[in-house]
Amino acid sequence: MTSRRFDHALLLAGFLAIWQVLHWAAGADVVSSPWATIARAVELLGAPAFWGHVRATLAAFALASVISIAGGIALGLWLGLRHFAGDVADPILGTLYSIPKITLYPIILLMFGLGVSAKVAFGVIHGVFPIAIFTMNAVRNVAPVFRRTALVMRLSPVTTAATVMAPAALPEILAGIRVGVALTLLGTLIGELFAATSGLGFALIRAMDVHAVVDILAITLLLFCFAACVNASLRLVERRARHGG
Amino acid sequence: MGWRLHITKVGAARTAFVVLVFAALELLCRLGVIPLVTMIPPSEMVASLWSILAGGTFNNDIVFTLYNIVAAAVLAVVLGFFLGAGLHALPRLRRPLVPLLSAYYAVPTFVFYPLLIVAFGVGRTALIVMGAMFGIVAMIVNTTLGLDHVPPAVDRTAAILRLDRWRRLVLVRLPAAAPHLVTGIKLAVAYSVIGIVAGEFILATAGMGKRIAFSYDNFDNRTMYGMLLLLLIGVMIINGALSAWERRLHRRFGQQ
């Protein structure tokens, strides 16, 4: 345990050292020093205006995540249980997942205008397809013997779904949610970069406009910490589902 | 026989579905349910795409973007492979890095693009570095996963043949990890495209992203949708080819 903590400390030290070297090599116009950036991040965390942006982003991110998860699971369950529909949809979903959604920003803006709905829509088109794909595969990969056992035990469809299918498919679905939620955050932030009047993406684009290097790096650093925390906690839930069931 | 019939039926249903979606869009646009300022009918998009290609007006932008994508993807794949191989050899460094690497794609790293412009100037280099920066992490992650899946017997054979470290990596482990590496290549290309197009949207002298942003700003929906369609078709072709390669390797190596 202590050696693991030592590894973390070593990684952090190495990361800060590389950052400092980059700062020396490229200059403060390109990379602000780690200390200045961290100081600025702490300062931002104490500023009420910054928390206004955080709240705006969190609200849009939460709404987009709920829509992505609910929509992705519903679509994935349906396609996973209906084999024909699943086979038809599989490559279509794969294509929708892989196209660079950022190219669609003009269409989203034209459809939703500037504001909250555009950034939520941007988050959803990023998050919903991976969740649908993971869910569909999760349902399809449930061992046939489970389903047959449920049949032999004469379980009702509802009981089968709740006590056999759901626990068997859950870890995979949670993996999909982890991937999907990360992309939903990316989508929401991209939406804010191009289409918002508030939120962290908007704060970033404003910092970019006035070339406030330290602000760009400080906000990105905070966003990265937030994303890593969300990712780590979803990973924990996933691991518990995998081993607890 | 039954399987083949199933495949044919699935293909037909898929084609019908896609055609129906586009027909519905066409109808909605023609009827004015979707206003022209929002979306032009798909047939008009195709016509615009055709005139762009036939007229050659944007050939420079198309070549510019394509070149940048290829350069960024090659950089991301080659550097990502060696960094991934290095990380795989250092499990103590890798373990604390994993959660950070998987959080990488939740943050739009292309906000660093203005900093790259200061460092490299407006032009090709900043865009290529941007694309490579966005793509490389996917390659690193998939390289480490691929090396995890190299069968121990293969490694031991390489040891018996007394291959040095370098040859063992390139001649033995690289091919053995191929299916995951191709997945990495596919993702690195996809993310490089995102990085470059995002950069071109934000600030560039040329490129398809720049043309799309420019026509959006000038309410020139015809050009915008034509270019968008061209970009999406191009990305789908690249992705389709890499996916086919990936499937073939997975079949050959008998993995899922």
Whether B103 shows a pLDDT value over 50: the answer reads yes
Mind listing the pLDDT tens digit for each residue in A45-80? 999 989 999 999 999 999 999 999 999 999 998 898
Residue numbers in A near B137 (CB within 8 A): none
Among chain A residues, the shortest Cα distance to B10 is held by: A88
Cβ contact, residue pair A104, B236, below 8 Å? no
- How many domains in chain A? 2
Mind listing the pLDDT tens digit for each residue in A73-103? 999 988 988 888 888 998 889 888 888 888 8
Residues A18, A83 within the same domain:
no
Residues A14, A48 within the same domain:
no
Which among A88, A91, A216 has CB closest to B115?
Answer: A216
Q: How far apart are CA B208 and CA B219, in angstroms?
A: 16
* B50 confidence band (pLDDT: 50, 70, 90): very high
Cβ contact, residue pair A211, B209, below 8 Å? no
Residues A4, A42 within the same domain:
no
Whether B105 shows a pLDDT value over 50: the answer reads yes
Q: How far apart are CA B209 and CA B228, in angstroms?
A: 9
Cβ contact, residue pair B106, A231, below 8 Å? yes
Residues A13, A115 within the same domain:
no
Q: How far apart are CA B32 and CA B30, in angstroms?
A: 5
CATH of the domain at A54: 1.10.3720.10
Q: How far apart are CA A121 and CA A104, in angstroms?
A: 11
Mind listing the pLDDT tens digit for each residue in B130-184? 999 999 999 999 999 999 988 888 888 888 988 888 888 888 888 888 888 999 9
Place of tokens 């030592």: A6
Q: How far apart are CA B61 and CA B210, in angstroms?
A: 8
Residues A168, A212 within the same domain:
yes
Cβ contact, residue pair B108, A30, below 8 Å? no
Helix ranges (H only) for A114-212 are 116-140, 144-152, 157-159, 166-195, 200-209
**Is B19 touching A (CB cutoff 8 A)?**
no
- B 100-129: CB under 8 A from A: 100, 102-103, 105-109, 111-112, 114-116, 118-119
**ipTM for the predicted complex:** 0.84
Residues A25, A69 within the same domain:
no
**Is B96 touching A (CB cutoff 8 A)?**
yes
Q: Give CA separation, A107 vs A100, B42, B111, B132, in Å.
A: 13, 13, 21, 26
Count chain A–chain B contacts defined by CB atoms under 8 A. 135
Mind listing the pLDDT tens digit for each residue in B10-29? 889 999 999 999 999 999 99
Q: Tell me how far apart the 2 most distant CA atoms of chain B are, in Å.
A: 72
- For residues A201-230, give the mean pLDDT: 90
Residue B166 backbone dihedrals phi, psi, to 5 degrees: -65, -50
| CA of A199 vs chain B CAs: smallest distance (Å) | 14
Place of tokens 């609200």: A59
Residues A40, A53 within the same domain:
yes
Residues A24, A142 within the same domain:
no
Residue numbers in B near A235 (CB within 8 A): 99, 102
Q: SS in 3 state form for B172-230?
A: HHHHHCHHHHHHHHHHHHHHHHHHHHHHHHHCCCCCHHHHHHHHHHCCCHHHHHHHHHH
Residues A121, A1 within the same domain:
no
Residues A27, A42 within the same domain:
no
**Domain housing A181:** 32-244
- B 220-249: CB under 8 A from A: 221, 224, 228, 231-232, 235-236, 239-240, 243
Mind listing the pLDDT tens digit for each residue in B236-245? 999 889 989 9
Amino acid B256: pLDDT: 41
Residues A72, A146 within the same domain:
yes
A63, A120 contact by CB (below 8 A):
yes
Residues A82, A152 within the same domain:
yes
Cβ contact, residue pair A216, B111, below 8 Å? yes
- For residues B207-220, give the mean pLDDT: 90
